[in-house]
Amino acid sequence: AHANIAGRDVVVEWAQMESASIANLLGTLTPRALVAKADLWRTSSFNITGFYSDVDYGYDIYYSSLNPYHEVLVGGGLNIPFERWMRNDPVLLAHQVWGGELGFSLGSLEGNLCYYDLTWHPAPGAYVTPPWDVFYGVTLTKVLSPTVSVAASYGHETGVGPWPDLDMVMGQALVGF
């Protein structure tokens, strides 16, 4: 559902799987997902957007926000690919995520600062701690022409327990055609 409340966009989606779920194998027959995003504060020079998602174990829809197209530029192994949460909202299987973004202008640069706090919902009977619990990053973009822009990004995934923190620094040129 999408609404504009007092000039602020609010988007909420809720869904429940009735069949064809990996959770069916574990006895959880109706895994659910909730995603909400809202403009919290918008001015001419910056905007703050709040974000929340809560996805049960077993709710796994392909070709959706849970499984968006992304490139694995850094990482592999147990980390969540940086591109998955820096370019898309972090709707993650078996996770509750709170956070948001700060969009801003700095001279001729457009900036985006994001922060997300994660809580893991393990499979029934699983006692494994995930290797991450906080994501944050910043991207600065310079538009060179209507079809060309360059950007620099930094992302960080905070490790839990024995897992190390992961950092990514990336430069990119985007050409639209």
Arithmetic mean of pLDDT, 107-129: 86
Which of 8-12, 91-95, 138-142, 155-159 shows the lowest mean pLDDT across its residues?
91-95
pLDDT for residue 173 is more than 90: yes
Please tell me the distance from the alpha carbon of residue 54 to that of residue 44, in angstroms, as a whole number: 31
Q: Which of these, 39, 38, 25, lies nearest to 123 by C-alpha position?
A: 25
Phi first, then psi, for residue 22 (nearest 5°) are: -65, -20
Q: CB within 8 A of 162, min separation 6: which ones?
A: none
Longest pairwise C-alpha distance within the chain? 55
Question: pLDDT tier at 27 (50, 70, 90 boundaries)?
Answer: low
Question: pLDDT tier at 47 (50, 70, 90 boundaries)?
Answer: very high
Mean pLDDT is highest, among 9-13, 62-66, 112-116, 118-122, for 112-116
Angle (nearest 5°) at CA 44 between 42 and 47: 30
Please tell me the distance from the alpha carbon of residue 86 to that of residue 81, in angstroms, as a whole number: 9
pLDDT of residue 72: 59
Distances (CA, A) of 41 to 49, 57, 117, 166: 7, 33, 20, 31
